[in-house]
């Protein structure tokens, strides 16, 4: 384990992706005429940047818009509005949000995706070679020998024996399949990799192998990751910065160490507090939020979090807070961010003794 | 140490399939004490869910409880071996849902979408208690309010699909408590839920346990949930309990190499950002390719060649409530496995 956190070179690296005021609203249609009666604001005014070689994680609970955001960036969904500026290999900046379909294709080589479910994301009728080589074939690598050479290289990169080349996916475990999915994503030398819950379907002992592999590949190849996850423990092991989303909006964005040690938004605090810590000597007094996540088609007025927020005041009910920079690189969307002193998780943080239950029954 | 309310000894549940026999549970032993929470933890295929289903005798064909004992101490002090009962018989049906309540992972598939939650609750209540419809309904409303469902008198007439995941799981817990069981088995009760909802449900289980002095078996793959919720822990790997002990000892003095490796490989919110994790070599074997000898030996950092791949280690007692099935802890002189004391004997 590293003692001191070295300053990662990414802090000064050029920006590769710039998302600005991204919105994705889904219309709700009703009736015979399919009239639009409302809008689900899945992503509502999201802005962030990713530098070369950096990992930004989007975290939040189901329905917060983290996956929709990542799908807009890959243009699997067309955004309602906003800009997604991507710096290409050639150094040109293009807006993925408005690019015509014909121009998207060459760009897709540079942005790839790793999927959550290693069982449904690999075609069971294709050999490993065919699966990994498919993006090469699609992108005009005609020579079979050339493709096979590249597949061997990629398998080596994800630490799978080249002897597996001609097997089918069913012969592999979940962790090995996820390695195959990663090899496929890297086949075209992408600059940005979007990983949507890449380890949440895996067993704990295998999860660690894949997380380490993702970190190694990033260091070797200078990849940028947009990491979408709900598990804050996993996020802490891979991220340089973390963006917390709630009902379609980023409520806090900060360097990893800062947001875990001292969150500035009450929702981040509650989220951190809810994570079970794998140490019975550190049982904590949890902040248990009341109620449920707001409906993105009918969010509450003011701050979307106010009905569940233990610190809410009148102002929060009427006035929507803006995402403000409060410390170096630390942004939060809360009226009371300066006055509140919220708790995070830290070595030697708050603890509660394990409940002593009378063994004498 | 209190006398256990449930004692599982050498449980074997096998699935007979065309390709061969899958020994999903193959020699699991543990004790559940009254008023305490026992965590069963392990990765996929370790047999933790099949163990729960074996206790409830709801293992689906081609699975079958093949051997071992499931000794339940009844309210009147008698001891019944559930492994010998007819799974569909009258006595087992009275125990299942009566003395032992259970909550499963998927609240959507465990609840009927054709009946209101009230109908299902009233049915469960009247199955185990001689109550009229009206009284059962009142009891149902009480139960819903007990598990923290807002406006229970109205919600009792809603359908499960009208509720959120967290509320559905609360309804499942209300159903499990309908007959006032002494034991609650919760199999991955929060795995399908978001983390803030998980915190609510875990809080609820803890509160109900304190109020009703329930004995709880909590089955999960999440070491964090185990650390926060349990008193005693059973670690399972490929159908066997590899280690048992009080929660503090399991986390701070793990004795089995699998427990140690597992604990080192879990991501934690307390970790240094971007720190690499220690990993367990390899992956969990396919059930048809069960390794000979100790099932963990191909992945074990401490495997002793010539021993671990040949023979199966038995459980070695390492103090009160503490056991590990590993040759590292056997006294080299004796060579023999320490016997597992049976705490309850069925009166036939």
Residue of A nearest to B233 (CA): A280
Check whether the bond before B336 is cis (ω within 30° of 0). no
Residue of B nearest to A294 (CA): B164
Kindly state whether residue B109 falls inside one of the protein's structural domains.
yes
- The pLDDT score that the predictor gives to residue B335 is 45
Name the residue range of residue B166's domain.
Answer: 100-178
- The pLDDT score that the predictor gives to residue A34 is 87
Kindly state whether residue B8 falls inside one of the protein's structural domains.
no
Q: Cβ separation of B273 and A256 shorter than 8 Å?
A: yes
Q: Cβ separation of A257 and B224 shorter than 8 Å?
A: no
Average pLDDT over residues B208-213: 90
Residue of A nearest to B261 (CA): A205
Kindly state whether residue B20 falls inside one of the protein's structural domains.
no
What kind and span of H or E run contains B154? helix B152-155
Kindly state whether residue B138 falls inside one of the protein's structural domains.
yes
Q: Cβ separation of B199 and A274 shorter than 8 Å?
A: yes
Which residues have C-beta within 8 Å of that of residue A102, sequence separation ≥ 6?
A: none
What does the domain layout of chain A look like in residue ranges? 119-189
Kindly state whether residue B116 falls inside one of the protein's structural domains.
yes
Of A55, A275, A360, the CB nearest to B224: A275
- The pLDDT score that the predictor gives to residue B348 is 37
- The pLDDT score that the predictor gives to residue A292 is 80
Q: Which of A173, A254, A240, A241 is nearest to A207 (CA)?
A: A173
CA atoms of A325 and A303, how far apart (whole Å) = 17
Q: Is the pLDDT of residue B333 over 50?
A: no
Of A203, A280, A360, the CB nearest to B44: A203
Q: Is the pLDDT of residue B339 over 60?
A: no
Neighbours of B278 (CB within 10 A): 14
Which residues have C-beta within 8 Å of that of residue A144, sequence separation ≥ 6?
A: none
Kindly state whether residue B348 falls inside one of the protein's structural domains.
no
Q: Cβ separation of B267 and A233 shorter than 8 Å?
A: yes
Per residue of chain A (361 residues), what is the pLDDT tens digit?
Answer: 444 455 576 667 899 999 999 999 999 998 888 898 888 999 999 999 999 999 999 999 888 999 999 999 999 999 999 999 999 988 899 999 999 988 888 888 999 999 988 888 999 999 999 999 999 998 888 899 999 999 999 999 999 998 889 999 988 888 899 999 999 999 999 999 999 999 988 888 889 999 999 999 999 999 999 999 999 999 999 999 999 999 999 999 999 999 999 999 999 999 999 999 999 998 877 888 888 888 888 899 999 999 999 999 999 999 999 999 999 899 999 999 999 999 888 754 443 333 333 333 3
Q: Which residues of B touch A203 (CB under 8 A)?
A: 43-44, 221, 283-284
Of A175, A275, A359, the CB nearest to B269: A275
What ipTM was predicted for this assembly?
0.83
Question: By the CB < 8 Å criterion, does A47 face chain B?
Answer: no
Q: Is the pLDDT of residue B219 over 80?
A: yes
Query: How close, in Å, is residue B283 to chain A by CA atoms?
Result: 7
- The pLDDT score that the predictor gives to residue B340 is 45
B327 touches B308 (CB < 8 A): yes
Q: Cβ separation of B267 and A211 shorter than 8 Å?
A: yes
What kind and span of H or E run contains B248? helix B247-252
Q: Is the pLDDT of residue B288 over 80?
A: no
Split at pLDDT 50, 70, 90, the class of B332 is low
Residue of B nearest to A345 (CA): B270
Query: How close, in Å, is residue B167 to chain A by CA atoms?
Result: 10
Question: By the CB < 8 Å criterion, does A1 face chain B?
Answer: yes
Number of H helices, E strands in chain A: 10, 12
CB pairs under 8 A between A and B: 174
pLDDT per residue as tens digits for the range A326-340: 998 999 999 999 999
Q: Which of B233, B235, B284 is nearest to B260 (CA)?
A: B235
Residue of A nearest to B190 (CA): A276
CA atoms of B70 and B10, how far apart (whole Å) = 9
Kindly state whether residue B131 falls inside one of the protein's structural domains.
yes
- The pLDDT score that the predictor gives to residue A2 is 45
Average pLDDT over residues B324-330: 91
Number of compact structural domains in chain B: 1
- The pLDDT score that the predictor gives to residue B197 is 87
Residue of B nearest to A175 (CA): B283
Choose the mutation target among B2, B48, B108, B270 for the interface with A, i.e. most A CBs under 10 Å.
Answer: B270
- The pLDDT score that the predictor gives to residue B45 is 83
Which residues have C-beta within 8 Å of that of residue B178, sequence separation ≥ 6?
A: B97, B101, B121, B124, B125, B128, B139, B140, B143
Q: Is the pLDDT of residue B233 over 90?
A: yes
Q: How far is CA B43 from the centre of its chain?
A: 13
- The pLDDT score that the predictor gives to residue A22 is 97
Kindly state whether residue B120 falls inside one of the protein's structural domains.
yes
CA atoms of B54 and A147, how far apart (whole Å) = 51
Of A62, A286, A292, the CB nearest to B199: A286
pLDDT per residue as tens digits for the range B260-274: 999 999 998 888 899
- The pLDDT score that the predictor gives to residue A350 is 41
Neighbours of A134 (CB within 10 A): 15
Query: How close, in Å, is residue B128 to chain A by CA atoms?
Result: 27
Question: By the CB < 8 Å criterion, does A6 face chain B?
Answer: no
Choose the mutation target among B277, B285, B286, B300 for the interface with A, i.e. most A CBs under 10 Å.
Answer: B277
Split at pLDDT 50, 70, 90, the class of B345 is very low
Query: How close, in Å, is residue B195 to chain A by CA atoms?
Result: 6
Choose the mutation target among A9, A208, A245 for the interface with B, i.e. most B CBs under 10 Å.
Answer: A208
Q: Where are the alpha helices (DSSP H) in A87-203?
A: 101-108, 128-138, 144-157, 174-186
Residue of A nearest to B209 (CA): A357
Q: Which of B50, B58, B52, B61 is nearest to B13 (CA)?
A: B50
- The pLDDT score that the predictor gives to residue B111 is 87
Per 3-state DSSP, what percentage of chain A is helix, strand, and coil (rounded to 5)? Answer: 30, 25, 45
């Amino acid at each position: 384990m590293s003692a001191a956190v070295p300053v990662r070179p990414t802090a000064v690296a050029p920006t590769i992706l710039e998302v600005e005021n991204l919105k994705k609203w889904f219309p709700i249609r009703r009736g015979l005429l399919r009239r639009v009666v409302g809008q689900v604001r899945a992503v509502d005014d999201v802005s962030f940047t990713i530098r070369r070689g950096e990992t930004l994680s989007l975290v939040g609970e189901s329905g917060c818009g983290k996956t929709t955001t990542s799908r807009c960036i890959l243009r699997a969904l067309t955004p309602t509005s906003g800009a997604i500026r991507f710096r290409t290999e050639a150094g040109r900046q293009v807006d993925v949000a408005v690019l015509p379909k014909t121009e998207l294709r060459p760009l897709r080589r540079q942005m790839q995706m790793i999927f959550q479910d290693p069982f449904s994301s690999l075609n069971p009728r294709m050999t490993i070679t065919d699966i990994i080589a498919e993006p090469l074939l699609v992108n005009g690598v005609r020579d079979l020998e050339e493709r096979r050479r590249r597949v061997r290289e990629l398998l080596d990169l994800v630490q799978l024996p080249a002897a597996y080349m001609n097997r089918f996916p069913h012969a592999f475990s979940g962790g090995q399949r996820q390695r195959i999915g990663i090899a496929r994503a890297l086949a075209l030398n992408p600059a940005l990799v979007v990983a949507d819950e890449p380890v949440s379907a895996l067993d704990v002992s295998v999860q660690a192998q894949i997380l380490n592999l993702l970190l190694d590949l990033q260091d070797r190849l200078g990849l940028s990751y947009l990491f979408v996850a709900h598990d804050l423990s996993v996020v802490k092991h891979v991220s340089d910065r973390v963006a917390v989303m709630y009902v379609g909006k980023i409520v806090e964005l900060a360097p990893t160490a800062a947001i875990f040690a001292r969150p500035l938004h009450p929702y981040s605090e509650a989220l951190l507090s809810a994570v079970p810590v794998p140490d019975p000597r550190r049982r904590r007094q949890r902040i248990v939020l009341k109620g449920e996540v707001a409906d993105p088609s009918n969010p509450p007025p003011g701050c979307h979090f106010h009905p569940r927020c233990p610190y809410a005041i009148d102002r929060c009910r009427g006035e929507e807070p803006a995402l403000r920079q409060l410390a170096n690189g630390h942004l939060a969307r809360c009226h009371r961010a300066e006055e509140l002193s919220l708790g995070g998780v830290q070595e030697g943080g708050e603890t509660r003794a394990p409940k002593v239950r009378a063994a004498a029954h | 140490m209190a006398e256990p309310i449930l004692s599982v000894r050498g449980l074997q549940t096998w699935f007979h399939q065309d390709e061969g026999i899958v020994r999903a549970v193959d020699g699991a032993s543990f004790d559940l004490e009254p008023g305490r929470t026992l965590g069963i933890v392990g990765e996929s295929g370790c047999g933790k869910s099949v163990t729960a289903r074996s206790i409830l005798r709801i293992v689906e064909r081609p699975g079958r409880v093949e051997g071992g004992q499931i000794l339940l101490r009844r309210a009147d002090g008698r001891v019944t071996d559930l492994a010998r009962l007819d799974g569909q018989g009258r006595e087992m049906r009275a125990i299942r849902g009566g003395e032992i309540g259970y909550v499963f992972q998927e609240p959507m598939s465990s609840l009927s979408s054709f009946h209101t939650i009230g109908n299902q609750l009233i049915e469960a209540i009247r199955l185990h208690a001689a109550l009229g419809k009206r009284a059962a309904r009142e009891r149902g409303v009480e139960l819903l309010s007990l598990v923290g469902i807002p406006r229970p008198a109205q919600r009792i007439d809603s359908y499960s699909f009208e509720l959120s995941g967290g509320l559905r799981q609360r309804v499942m817990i209300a159903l499990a408590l309908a007959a006032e069981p002494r034991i609650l088995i919760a199999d991955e009760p929060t795995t399908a839920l978001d983390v803030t909802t998980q915190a609510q449900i875990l809080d609820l289980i803890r509160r109900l346990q304190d109020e009703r002095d329930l004995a709880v078996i909590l089955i999960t793959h999440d070491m964090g949930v185990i650390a926060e919720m349990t008193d005693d822990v059973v670690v399972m790997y490929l159908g066997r309990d590899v280690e048992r002990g009080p929660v503090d000892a399991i986390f701070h003095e793990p004795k089995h190499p699998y427990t140690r490796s597992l604990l080192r490989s879990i991501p934690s919110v307390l970790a240094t950002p971007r720190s690499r994790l220690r990993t367990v070599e390899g992956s969990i074997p396919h059930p048809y390719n069960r390794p000979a000898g100790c099932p963990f030996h191909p992945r074990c950092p401490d495997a002793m060649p010539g021993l671990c791949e040949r023979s199966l280690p038995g459980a070695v007692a390492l103090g009160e409530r503490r056991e590990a099935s590993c040759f590292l802890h056997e006294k080299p002189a004796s060579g023999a496995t320490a016997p597992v004391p049976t705490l309850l004997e069925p009166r036939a």
